[in-house]
């Protein structure tokens, strides 16, 4: 974090400074990292004690003090010998502090900000942009999927006076959440990747999801840029809601940044990218899955708006070999058995894309095995979407399906009801049972996909299978 006095932090958070028995004064300066996890506190850092549904961060303040915290942001004074800023709401204070830090760094005239949202692909696009922009200047981007009201401002607080680019991933589980984050960061470039059924149960339907995602572009200024998916009609409709200049990406001919000659193989995806002005380049993209081409196009479109040359962008994309741990991660190798661990999260769109990739990359004459768990947070759409994925697995000719957990049982039932399968789908209750089944059935040359929502817990199964077949 940039250097701030405790008085400045108190003013930014509308809090009250308390020395708490130390020699600190309001003019004492803090420069350390800000975190809500006491285990991550570093000497000189700031610990924000937030209340959660299951626990209260104030309980961990003594641990933060032991780790060398220079300041605590709390909702009540604590008997801990560390200076404290007492605020009414710790999460709101975190956001307010992030807003002030972004404002101050922006005032230096170097910082440019990209906001990324969408039902799928946020983390991958953020990681691609980070790799591209790091070639040009100091860049800050979220770790993992830090994209909510806690993770996003925590990332913003990593800014320093030297930072040139901030890539802010912005997620939501309801109306107003993205707008709240946009007001903190004020992106120069706002990306909307896709609107699908991910979290539709939380939003209350697909139209509410569209409304929430459109918050990325509704407050952009005429001098800003909205990077929109030309292939998604719901995203395309957002062009009418923004004052910003629109740049389109996609496979459609009318897209400003588009991909052609897409070739999918077991080592990744190759495609030709064409940009405004007619310049084009071939990209040998090591991230597995045709669906990630759209994320790459979004990154290209955004980077171009930040004046990054196309050859630099392509070089950055080609450096990336993994979207994120647990996302289309290729493991295994023994007896030519490949394990694709894609169980970091799942929506109907990403589940369908993963199955299509499995069908595309399996070796000729060998089998494709899909180990699938529940797609969570779909609400009223859950049943029909699990049915749809089951039918897609049959139609893609997946050799063997292993369905794990009660939440995904309907997927198994829909496949056996299709009538064209005879024992190709198996149901088990636990990841341990799935492990035993897959390790006993796998043959040399097989390709195994593991896919589920994070809540289903199959990511560790994917890692375990990868180690077994290493």
Q: What is the pLDDT of residue 200?
A: 54
Query: Residue 144's closest CA among 169, 166, 119?
Result: 169
Q: What is the pLDDT of residue 266?
A: 80
Which of 87-101, 275-289, 317-331, 349-363 bottoms out in mean pLDDT, i.e. has the lowest? 317-331
118 is in an annotated binding site: yes
- 458/105 Cα distance (integer angstroms): 41
Using the predicted structure, report yes or no on whether residue 420 has a pLDDT greater than 70: no
155 is in an annotated binding site: no
Antiparallel, parallel or unpaired: β 46-48 and 447-451: unpaired
Q: Is 356 exposed, middle or buried (0-12, 13-18, 19+ CB in 10 A)?
A: middle
pLDDT band at 73 (very low <50, low <70, confident <90, very high): very high
Helical H runs in 362-426?
382-395, 409-417
Residues linked to residue 141 through DSSP beta bridges, in sequence order:
167
Q: Is 280 exposed, middle or buried (0-12, 13-18, 19+ CB in 10 A)?
A: middle
44 is in an annotated binding site: no
Q: What is the mean pLDDT of the chain?
A: 93
Q: What is the pLDDT of residue 53?
A: 77
pLDDT band at 283 (very low <50, low <70, confident <90, very high): very high
pLDDT tens digits, one per residue of 460-469: 999 999 999 9
DSSP state letter for 464? H
Tell me how long the chain is. 470
pLDDT tens digits, one per residue of 55-66: 899 999 999 999
Question: What's the mean pLDDT in 323-339?
Answer: 87
When computed from its CA atoms, the radius of gyration of the chain, rounded to whole angstroms, is 24
5 is in an annotated binding site: no
Q: What is the pLDDT of residue 334?
A: 94
291 membership: H or E segment, kind and range: none
Q: What is the pLDDT of residue 126?
A: 95
CA angle 209, 374, 435 (to 5 degrees): 150
Which of 169-183, 249-263, 271-285 bottoms out in mean pLDDT, i.e. has the lowest? 169-183
- 298/191 Cα distance (integer angstroms): 7
- Tally Cβ neighbours within 10 Å of residue 2: 18
Alpha-carbon distances of 287 from 234, 268, 284, 292, rounded to whole Å? 26, 5, 9, 7
Which domains does the chain possess?
A: 4-87 (3.40.1390.10), 108-319 (3.40.1190.10), 329-468 (3.90.190.20)
Residues linked to residue 47 through DSSP beta bridges, in sequence order:
35, 72
- 80/64 Cα distance (integer angstroms): 10
Cβ contact 218:208 at 8 Å: no
CB under 8 Å to 417, separation ≥6 — which residues? none
| The most confident of 119-128, 152-161, 166-175, 344-353, by mean pLDDT | 152-161
CB under 8 Å to 21, separation ≥6 — which residues? 81
pLDDT tens digits, one per residue of 221-234: 999 999 999 999 99
Alpha-carbon distances of 376 from 200, 210, 406, rounded to whole Å? 10, 19, 12
DSSP letter string, 321-378: --SBTTBSEEEE-GGG-EEEEE-S---HHHHHHHHHHHHHHSPTTS-EEEEE----S-
Query: Residue 310's closest CA among 236, 256, 350, 244?
Result: 256
pLDDT band at 19 (very low <50, low <70, confident <90, very high): very high
124 is in an annotated binding site: yes
139 is in an annotated binding site: no
pLDDT band at 198 (very low <50, low <70, confident <90, very high): low
pLDDT tens digits, one per residue of 21-57: 999 999 999 999 999 999 999 999 999 999 887 789 9
* Backbone dihedral region for residue 357 (phi beyond 0: left; psi -120 to 50: alpha; all else: beta): alpha
Using the predicted structure, report yes or no on whether residue 76 has a pLDDT greater than 90: yes
Using the predicted structure, report yes or no on whether residue 143 has a pLDDT greater than 90: no
The model carries a pTM of 0.88
Q: What is the pLDDT of residue 202?
A: 59
Question: What's the mean pLDDT in 241-247?
Answer: 98
357 is in an annotated binding site: no
CB under 8 Å to 365, separation ≥6 — which residues? 445
């Amino acid at each position: 974090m940039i250097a701030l006095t405790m008085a400045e932090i108190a003013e930014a958070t509308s809090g009250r400074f308390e020395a708490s028995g130390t020699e600190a004064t309001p003019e004492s300066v803090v420069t350390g990292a800000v975190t809500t996890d006491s285990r991550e506190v570093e000497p000189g850092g700031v610990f924000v004690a937030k209340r959660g549904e299951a626990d209260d961060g104030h309980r961990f303040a003594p641990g933060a003090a032991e780790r060398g915290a220079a300041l605590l942001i709390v909702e009540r004074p604590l008997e801990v010998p560390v200076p404290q800023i007492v605020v009414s709401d710790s999460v709101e204070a975190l956001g307010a502090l992030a807003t002030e830090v972004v404002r101050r760094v922006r005032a230096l005239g170097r910082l440019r900000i990209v906001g990324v949202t969408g039902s799928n692909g946020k983390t991958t696009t953020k990681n691609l942009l980070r790799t591209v922009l790091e070639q040009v200047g100091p860049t800050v981007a979220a770790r993992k999927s830090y994209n909510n009201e806690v993770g996003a401002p925590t990332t913003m607080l990593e800014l320093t006076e030297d930072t040139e680019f901030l890539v802010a991933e912005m997620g939501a589980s309801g109306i107003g959440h993205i707008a709240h984050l946009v007001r903190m960061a004020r992106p120069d470039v706002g990306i909307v990747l896709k609107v699908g059924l991910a979290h539709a149960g939380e939003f209350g339907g697909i139209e509410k999801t569209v409304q929430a995602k459109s918050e990325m572009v509704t407050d952009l200024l005429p001098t800003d840029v909205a990077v929109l998916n030309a292939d998604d009609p719901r995203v395309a409709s957002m062009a009418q809601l923004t004052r910003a200049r629109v740049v389109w990406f996609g496979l459609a001919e009318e897209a400003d940044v588009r991909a052609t000659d897409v070739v999918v193989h077991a080592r990744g995806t190759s495609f030709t990218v064409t940009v405004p002005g007619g310049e084009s380049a071939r990209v040998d993209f090591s991230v597995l899955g045709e669906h990630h081409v759209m994320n790459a196009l979004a990154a290209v479109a955004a980077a171009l708006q930040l004046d990054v040359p196309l050859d630099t962008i392509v070089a950055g994309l080609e450096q990336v070999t993994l979207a994120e741990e647990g996302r289309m991660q290729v493991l295994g190798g023994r007896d030519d058995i490949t394990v694709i661990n894609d169980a970091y999260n799942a929506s109907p769109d990403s589940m369908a894309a993963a199955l299509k990739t499995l069908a595309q990359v399996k070796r000729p004459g060998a089998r494709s095995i899909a180990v699938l768990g529940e797609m969570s947070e779909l609400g009223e759409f859950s049943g029909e979407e699990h049915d749809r994925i089951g039918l897609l697995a049959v139609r893609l000719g997946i050799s063997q399906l292993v369905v794990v957990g009660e939440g995904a049982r309907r997927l198994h039932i829909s496949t056996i009801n299709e009538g064209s399968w005879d024992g190709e789908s198996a149901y088990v209750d636990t990841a341990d049972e799935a492990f035993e089944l897959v390790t006993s059935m796998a043959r040399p040359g097989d390709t195994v996909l593991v896919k589920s929502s994070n809540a289903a817990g199959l990511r560790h199964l994917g890692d375990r299978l990868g180690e077994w077949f290493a």
